[in-house]
Amino acid sequence: MSSHTEPEDLEDLLEAVTHLRKQNERLLERVDDLECDLEETEHNLETLESEHETLQQTNDHLRDRLEACERDLTRVDALTDAARKRSGVNKQRIEELQARELEKGAHLREPNVDAHEIDVDGGRLEQLTKADGHTYYRLPEQADPLERGGTVTLAHSDLLPIQQLARMDEEMLRSTSNSLPTRLAAKLWRARTDPSIGDNPWERGCKDIAEFVKASDLKHWIRRQEPGTSETYAKKLVSRTIDAMLELSTNRLAVRKRRERKNGLECTERRLILPADVDIPGETATTTAENTTRPETAGVRG
């Protein structure tokens, strides 16, 4: 009996040892893998610790810079506030000196004067352009005792209503008048006197007429100025614009009718004319004929 069991026991033992050996080999491989993972983890940890230290140093550096910037900003704010206060005081002193000089009759260059802050007797300043081409401020009708800038041309109050309107920009013109014919009249006068406008329907006259504009040309000009205007409405605007021109020029302009031949047919054409002998403030017969104007005043504050 024992002779049969011993070999079987040896085989079982051998099989068990073989199994244990394989299991041990797998465990060894696993241990090797874990050791490799551990080494990699330790390396990554060292790297992260190094990066953390670098970031910490950078953060400390940035915090120091931020504190320095905050200190500089506080210092600059204090200097700015002090400069602002000094500037305000100096501005008040300058305005007081300018007001005194203006009340003595001085003419001060427009860019150097804050007209809305100057406190002068009567509370009114007048703008004018001199022969040197520069714009000045003065008290109304005050001659410059030093005679700087050449002769004075005209004050705003000396201009015709049409001239005053023609010197306004589009926004000011709209705020001044809600009448389209009035605004068109101002633009039409501006086209006559300002060569830079370009779209000028006025024509050179002869004999007793300095300049004129035909009603038919005025109609086309109005449609260019007011895009989308129908021909029927443009014809109505021609009459209303001419009426506005007559009124705002205090009847220095006039309307005349002239028979003309168009397309083989005779018709009567209305013309808005500027007589050659009419007196236009700031213009002479020569400047009118050349369709130019001398520098005049820019406006009045009051």
- Per residue in 43-65, pLDDT (tens digit) is 888 888 888 889 889 988 898 89
**CB atoms near residue 197 (< 10 Å):** 12
Same domain, 273 and 179: yes
Same domain, 60 and 166: no
pLDDT tens per residue, range 64-92: 898 889 888 888 888 888 777 777 777 78
Q: How far is CA 111 from the centre of its chain?
A: 18
Of the residues 92, 120, 138, the one at which a domain ends? 92
In whole angstroms, give the CA distance from residue 120 to residue 158: 22
Q: Is residue 73 part of a domain?
A: yes
Number of domains in the chain: 2
What letters, b where the CB count within 10 A reaches 16 and e where it falls short, cover 85-107?
A: eeeeeeeeeebeebbeebeeebb
Same domain, 166 and 271: yes
Q: Which of 15-19, 76-80, 135-139 has the lowest mean pLDDT?
A: 135-139
Q: Is residue 59 part of a domain?
A: yes
Angle at 132 between CA 159 and CA 144, to 5 degrees: 70
- 96: enclosing H helix or E strand: helix 2-103
Q: How far is CA 263 from the centre of its chain?
A: 49
Q: Is residue 62 part of a domain?
A: yes
Same domain, 175 and 261: yes
Same domain, 75 and 166: no
Of the residues 57, 92, 127, the one at which a domain ends? 92
Alpha-carbon distance values, 6 to 12, 16, 256 (Å): 10, 15, 150
Same domain, 165 and 248: yes
Q: Is residue 66 part of a domain?
A: yes
Q: Is residue 3 part of a domain?
A: yes
Range of the domain at 27: 1-92
Q: Is residue 204 part of a domain?
A: yes
In whole angstroms, give the CA distance from residue 192 to residue 274: 11
> Which parts of 226-292 fold into alpha helices (H)?
231-248, 285-289
**Model's pTM, two decimal places?**
0.47
In whole angstroms, give the CA distance from residue 104 to residue 58: 67
Please tell me the predicted confidence (pLDDT) of residue 245.
95
In the chain the first and final C-alpha atoms are separated, in Å, by 140
Q: Is residue 296 part of a domain?
A: no
| Most confident listed range (14-23, 233-242, 251-260) | 233-242
Residue 171 has pLDDT above 80, yes or no: yes
Of the residues 64, 92, 120, the one at which a domain ends? 92
- Share of the chain residues as helix, strand and coil, in percent rounded to the nearest 5: 55, 15, 30
> Which parts of 177-299 fold into alpha helices (H)?
180-193, 215-225, 231-248, 285-289
Average pLDDT taken over every residue of the chain: 81
Q: Is residue 64 part of a domain?
A: yes
Of residues 154 and 157, more confidently modeled:
157
In whole angstroms, give the CA distance from residue 121 to residue 102: 9
Same domain, 169 and 276: yes
